[in-house]
Amino acid sequence: MKIFKLPDLGEGLQEAEIVKWLVKVGDDVKADTPMVSVETAKAVVDIPAPFAGKIAKLYGNPGDIAHLGAPLVAFEGESDTPDTGTVVGKVEVGQKVVSEAPAGPAPLTGGIKTTPAVRALARKLNVDLTMVTPTGSDGLITGSDVQRAARILSEIGPIEVMRGVRRVMAQNMELATAEVASATIMDDADIDAWPKGAATVLRLIRALVAGCRAEPALNAWYDSEKIGRWVMKKIDIGIAVDTPDGLLVPVLRNCGERGIDDLKNALEKLVADARVRKVPPEELRANTITLSNYGSIAGRYASPVVLPPTVAILGAGRIAKQVVVVDDKPAVRRMLPLSLTFDHRAVTGGEAGRFLKAVIADLQRPQ
Amino acid sequence: MAQITLVEAINLALKHEMERDASVVVLGQDVGVDGGVFRATLGLASRFGPERVIDTPLAESLIAGMAIGMAVEGLKPVAEIQFSGFAYTVIDQILNHAGRMRHRTRGRLSCPMVLRTPCGAGIHAPEHHSESPEAMFAHIPGIRVVYPSSPRRAYGLLLAAMRDPDPVVFLEPTRLYRLFKEEVADDGQAMSLDACHTAREGTDITLVTWGPMVQTTLAAAADLAEQGIAAEVLDVATLKPLDMDSILASVARTGRCVIASEEPRTASFAAEVAANLAEDGLLTLLAPVRRVTAYDTVVPYSRLEHQYMPGKDVIVTAAKKVLAFA
Amino acid sequence: MAIVAKFEIHHSQYLDPHGKAVQPLPEFARDPQNLAALYRWMVLMRTYDAKAIALQRTGQIGTFASLLGKEAVEAGVGSAMAKDDVFLTTYRENGAQLMRGVTLKELFLYWGGDERGSDYSGPRRDFPMCITIAAHATHAAGVAYAMKLRREPRVAVCSLGDGATSKGDFYEGLNAAGAWRLPLVFVVTNNQWAISVPRSKQSAAQTLAQKAIAAGVDGAQVDGNDVVAVRHAMDQALAKARSGGGPALIEALTYRLADHTTADDASRYRSPDELAEAWKLEPILRLRTYLMEHGAWDKAKEDVLLRECNEQVQAAAQAYLDTPPPGPDQMFDHLYATLPAALQKQRAAARGED
């Protein structure tokens, strides 16, 4: 049953005398229908039905006192007083539904092991903890380790941070080493037949073109993620140039289809521009193969670094007279040492060998 | 000046204060005619009468609750809970009423009472008689928790507790009651509450302890000294409010700390000291803080008692581990 | 087989539910003006109670425990006690507390969630409302003991409900009172309900008064809706205790006409019919009927009284609402006589100083 209690009649009145019932048990009443006349100390008032419903019971007879808060009329139906769910305070009801995702344990991260006091010391002495070799048990960096590192650092002076061209070289070589499966084959070209004053680099360029023609696999780009390659039609040779700022590799485009004089002029301009840093950025990228003529300074054989996405680099060493065997007899010949490093993910030994053979064959032609 | 035991020192302090202040009364089970089951209240009933040395019915909540009522009404009650295992019953009265009386009446009423109880294992007692409840009491707001470790300190700290305007839970180390004697002057001088006491000076490591473990820790410090290690031993004495400044100052000098107590490990009072060291003393630490405590098991019946209680060897081992850290 | 103990529990009533005297009234009640004075208090209590409920419903105070229906117990106890006696109450004795000098504003402050409400300006020695059930029975034993030790003509009065008599602390305090013949009067207001647990389920004891017998204490039952019966029983118990005659327990039978607290809904566990029947026995109507029949009360007086009570209660409610709320220092003030150093950092943090 829904119980309706005598409501607050105002002015602090706690009671009222029932004068007359205006409804009876079983009546269907609308909201606000007067149900009972009561007399307070002040006046006779009619109390209206608080809602529509069927009268189930009347509490009290005319002449009885009705009290504030005491049951007055019962209506049929279920009580709709909301359950507070507590007898003290107020328990908030929320509508949010949460679901917990099952979480596994967080992985243990490795890292530097040391105490906060030692960390504070490292900060104070400006020591990078990653540079410190721990001597404590279980890899613990001790205070004396930090002191030692600080001493060393004070002796060697501050670090010179690489910038510009040197920085780019450092980053590129790091990338290359991480990725490339490099293999190197070395051989010599007998260039004794060359005329005096022959332009080495130009001959090397032409030889490279010959090599690419013989084995196009070395004039390609490789994508390690897709495990795929683009064998390039155009031969764009990156020429390693040593400049005051560091190593630059400007690109001589389309070497396979340009005439020798065109190449010669282009090469001269390229090198001159490189030396004064006038090569535009787009001409420093997207080469398909690289040439390094380190021999112009010193060094015979090398294993130069293949820069992705290219798959080959030809290194040319110092031309020198060597004693070689010709027709079973010792002879003095001008020899050009060659080192071909290739990315073995994209190039086979056979391809590299045939490439080098073609390069040597072209170089050994007198003109 | 007499050489007396710890329990005699307690008796002396009670006698002194009851003489000095007529509002001091003692209540508990068997405290009157029998002089207390450990004789802590020996002779008080015949000297001060049964009205002031009250043999109560067997009812711990009553003992604590009456002490509260008496204290509010202006007496200075010293209530005894006979054994540590029965002290848990009074946590309700201490936490919900004694510790709150001043606060919830805005100072209109206050509760200057002392609740004494013998604590700790090592006397081959029946079950439930060997508890270390200090963490539970130290968790209660508005009270003091005091745990003396020697006759002189028991005398001085109990006097201070009886004179304190706020409730004091006074835990007594049962196995030290008669273990050794000390010269104690019956001069009525109260010792300072809220302060650690340096039981032994040292430079290599700080050993923090209280109650019955102070003796054990001093023995460990002696062993360490033979090995060339100078340990400093701090007797916390007042667990609440905790004098962390003294502990931090000591650890700032030594850089290393072992906390030794007889409590079950988890949520022990030792954990509270360790947490404070981590929060406020981290950069002075050269090694992790180690706790030497009892196991997280029920206090075993007497057969296994000495396996349960941390002995001096455990403290020595822990100290050496800490010293070897780095 | 020998009978080694027997007991009797007496129940007394002077005014029946219709306001008729059923036996000669005790001395103090013979002058209707004395009863009219009690009537005024009872109406003030009910006015205060209704206002408190209204304040709670509008979110201006927290959970409130109404005393609707037990005004006669309050008036009987509050008027019998001496100024220097000590009153240890539950949270449902605000009526008697008002009579002892606790102010309406202090009560509103308390229920509003502020400890300053327990810093009674009037009865400085009375205990704050004991919220944990029956714990104060043991405090009362301590208070009475102190009074006896100092040979003071003072009495401790410990008020509790029917549910509280099931608690160990109740018996421990009662037992101590008996063992030491303490000047302690227990008033057990049996309003038939402990939240939703009816008296019949609370204990198999035929009366709650007889629990005193087990402690060697005199126990008696009165009609708690008859202020004359309550007052008379209190007068006798207090006089006996004050003169060294020992403790007593009075069980006052009444009915909890409201919910346990403003958050409770009693219709979940008791029938409206029972409630309506209980209203017929209520104490204020009964007393007014008697007074009117004896020419000591009329509609005009009622009108004036209602207006005065309203004004008083309204003013106090406003004074409470106008009280600035406490700052965080209130958590730290009076925690100890002097705040220890260890807590000063925390207080600074609470003040936002760190």
C10 noted as active-site residue: no
Checking phi first, is residue A60 left (phi over 0); if not, alpha (psi -120 to 50) or beta? Answer: left
* Mean pLDDT for the stretch of residues C75-88: 98
Interval A306-361: pLDDT, tens: 999 999 999 999 999 999 999 999 999 999 999 999 999 999 999 999 999 999 99
Per-residue pLDDT band for A158 (boundaries 50, 70, 90) equals confident
**CB of C73 closer than 8 Å to CB of C64:** no
Ordered by start, the domain boundaries in chain B are 2-184, 197-323
Per-residue pLDDT band for C201 (boundaries 50, 70, 90) equals very high
Q: How many residues does chain A have?
A: 367
Write a three-state SS string for chain C: CCCCCCCCCCEECCECCCCCECCCCCHHHCCHHHHHHHHHHHHHHHHHHHHHHHHHHCCCCCCCCCCCCCHHHHHHHHHHCCCCCEEECCCCCHHHHHHCCCCHHHHHHHHCCCHHHHCCCCCCCCCCCCCCCCHHHHHHHHHHHHHHHCCCCCCEEEEEECHHHHCHHHHHHHHHHHHCCCCEEEEEEECCEECCEEHHHHCCCCCCCCHHHHCCCEEEEEECCCHHHHHHHHHHHHHHHHCCCCCEEEEEECCCCCCCCCCCCHHHCCCHHHHHHHHCCCHHHHHHHHHHHCCCCCHHHHHHHHHHHHHHHHHHHHHHHCCCCCCCHHHHCCCCCCCCHHHHHHHHHHCCCC
pLDDT at A107: 65
* Mean pLDDT for the stretch of residues B316-324: 97
Lowest mean pLDDT among A154-168, B40-54, B271-285, C194-208: A154-168
How far is the C-alpha of C148 from the C-alpha of B300, rounded, in Å? Answer: 44
Tokens at residue A221, please? 């780009």
* Mean pLDDT for the stretch of residues C89-97: 98
Tokens at residue C130, please? 């004991």
pLDDT at B28: 97
Cα separation values, B246 from B134, B232, B235, B281, B286, Å: 20, 12, 10, 11, 18
- Its pTM stands at 0.80
The answer to whether residue A39 neighbours chain C at the CB level (below 8 Å) is no
Write a three-state SS string for A159-199: CCCCCHHHHHHHHHHHHHHHHCCEEEEEEEEECCCCCCCCC
* Mean pLDDT for the stretch of residues B207-234: 98
* Mean pLDDT for the stretch of residues C228-234: 98
Interval C263-302: pLDDT, tens: 999 998 999 999 999 999 999 999 999 999 999 999 999 9
Distance of CA A243 to the CA centre of its chain: 33
Chain B residues inside the 8 Å CB shell of A143: 286, 326
- Asked whether the beta carbons of residue B326 and residue A140 sit closer than 8 angstroms, the reply is yes
Instruction: Return the CATH fold of B197-323.
Output: Rossmann fold (3.40.50)
The answer to whether residue C132 neighbours chain B at the CB level (below 8 Å) is yes
Per-residue pLDDT band for A154 (boundaries 50, 70, 90) equals confident
Computed over its alpha carbons, how large is the radius of gyration of chain A?
A: 48
- Hey, what amino acid is at B31? V
The continuous run of DSSP H or E covering B51 comes out as none
- Where helices occur in A47-95 by DSSP H, the ranges are none
**CB of A344 closer than 8 Å to CB of A181:** yes
Instruction: Give the closest of A117, A137, A140 to B283, CB-based.
Output: A117
* Mean pLDDT for the stretch of residues B222-236: 98
* Mean pLDDT for the stretch of residues A203-231: 96
**CB of A250 closer than 8 Å to CB of A239:** yes
Which B-chain residues 244-303 have CB contacts (< 8 A) with chain C? 244-245
C231 noted as active-site residue: no
Lowest mean pLDDT among A272-286, B15-29, B55-69: A272-286
Percent of chain C with pLDDT over 90: 97
**CB of C56 closer than 8 Å to CB of C63:** yes
pLDDT at A110: 63
Interval B253-282: pLDDT, tens: 999 999 999 999 999 999 999 999 999 999
**Catalytic member of C92, C136, C231, C260:** C260
Does the pLDDT value for residue A10 go beyond 80?
Answer: no
How far is the C-alpha of A304 from the C-alpha of A316, rounded, in Å? Answer: 10
pLDDT at C306: 94
Q: Where do we find the tokens 């769910």?
A: A85
Query: How far does the CA of residue A137 sit from the closest CA of chain B (Å)?
Result: 8
Q: Among C219, C178, C225, which Cα is nearest to C72's?
A: C225
Tokens at residue C303, please? 């009108």
The continuous run of DSSP H or E covering A326 comes out as strand A320-326
Does the pLDDT value for residue A42 go beyond 80?
Answer: no
Q: Does domain B2-184 have CATH number 3.40.50.10380?
A: no
Q: What is the maximum alpha-carbon separation in chain C?
A: 78
How far is the C-alpha of B206 from the C-alpha of B199, rounded, in Å? Answer: 11
CATH, range C11-323? 3.40.50.970
Tell which of B102, B103, B246 to mutate to test the C interface (max C CBs under 10 Å). B103
Per-residue pLDDT band for A196 (boundaries 50, 70, 90) equals confident
- Asked whether the beta carbons of residue B241 and residue C340 sit closer than 8 angstroms, the reply is yes
Tokens at residue B103, please? 């606060």
pLDDT at A322: 94
Q: Average model confidence (pLDDT) for chain B?
A: 96
Chain C residues inside the 8 Å CB shell of A88: 63, 261, 263
Sorted by where each starts, the structural domains of chain A and their CATH numbers stand as 2-75 (2.40.50.100), 113-156 (4.10.320.10), 165-363 (3.30.559.10)
How far is the C-alpha of C154 from the C-alpha of C143, rounded, in Å? Answer: 10
Instruction: Give the closest of A15, A71, A83 to C275, CB-based.
Output: A71
* Mean pLDDT for the stretch of residues B32-60: 96
For chain A, the straight-line distance linking the first and the last C-alpha, in angstroms and rounded, comes to 117
Count CB neighbours of C314 within 10 A: 14
- At residue B107, the 3 state secondary structure works out as coil
pLDDT at C236: 98
Q: Among B46, B74, B86, which Cα is nearest to C142's?
A: B74
DSSP state of A291: E
How far is the C-alpha of B183 from the C-alpha of B186, rounded, in Å? Answer: 10
B contact chains, 3+ CB pairs < 8 A = A, C
pLDDT at A78: 83
Per-residue pLDDT band for A108 (boundaries 50, 70, 90) equals low
How far is the C-alpha of B215 from the C-alpha of B218, rounded, in Å? Answer: 5
Ordered by start, the domain boundaries in chain C are 11-323
- Asked whether the beta carbons of residue B106 and residue C118 sit closer than 8 angstroms, the reply is yes
pLDDT at B258: 98
How far is the C-alpha of A213 from the C-alpha of A198, rounded, in Å? Answer: 23
Computed over its alpha carbons, how large is the radius of gyration of chain C?
A: 21
Q: Is A128 exposed, middle or buried (0-12, 13-18, 19+ CB in 10 A)?
A: exposed
Interval B70-96: pLDDT, tens: 999 999 999 999 999 999 999 999 999
Query: How far does the CA of residue B213 sit from the closest CA of chain C (Å)?
Result: 24
CB contact set of C334 (below 8 Å; sequence gap of 6+): B102, B103, B105, B106, B107
* Mean pLDDT for the stretch of residues C214-239: 98
Q: ipTM value of the model?
A: 0.91
Does the pLDDT value for residue C77 go beyond 80?
Answer: yes
How far is the C-alpha of A253 from the C-alpha of A284, rounded, in Å? Answer: 11
Cα separation values, B93 from A106, B65, B125, C133, Å: 45, 6, 26, 11
**CB of C236 closer than 8 Å to CB of C185:** no
* Mean pLDDT for the stretch of residues B179-195: 96
Same CATH fold, B197-323 and B2-184? yes
- At residue B268, the 3 state secondary structure works out as coil
pLDDT at C304: 94
CB contact set of A100 (below 8 Å; sequence gap of 6+): none
- At residue B40, the 3 state secondary structure works out as coil
* Mean pLDDT for the stretch of residues A242-261: 92
pLDDT at A21: 96
The answer to whether residue A104 neighbours chain C at the CB level (below 8 Å) is no
pLDDT at A139: 87
Write a three-state SS string for C206-229: CCCCCHHHHCCCEEEEEECCCHHH
Count CB neighbours of A232 within 10 A: 18
Query: How far does the CA of residue C118 sit from the closest CA of chain B (Å)?
Result: 5
Tokens at residue C45, please? 């209590």
* Mean pLDDT for the stretch of residues B307-320: 96
What φ, ψ does residue A146 adopt, rounded to 5°? Answer: -65, -40
Per-residue pLDDT band for C45 (boundaries 50, 70, 90) equals very high
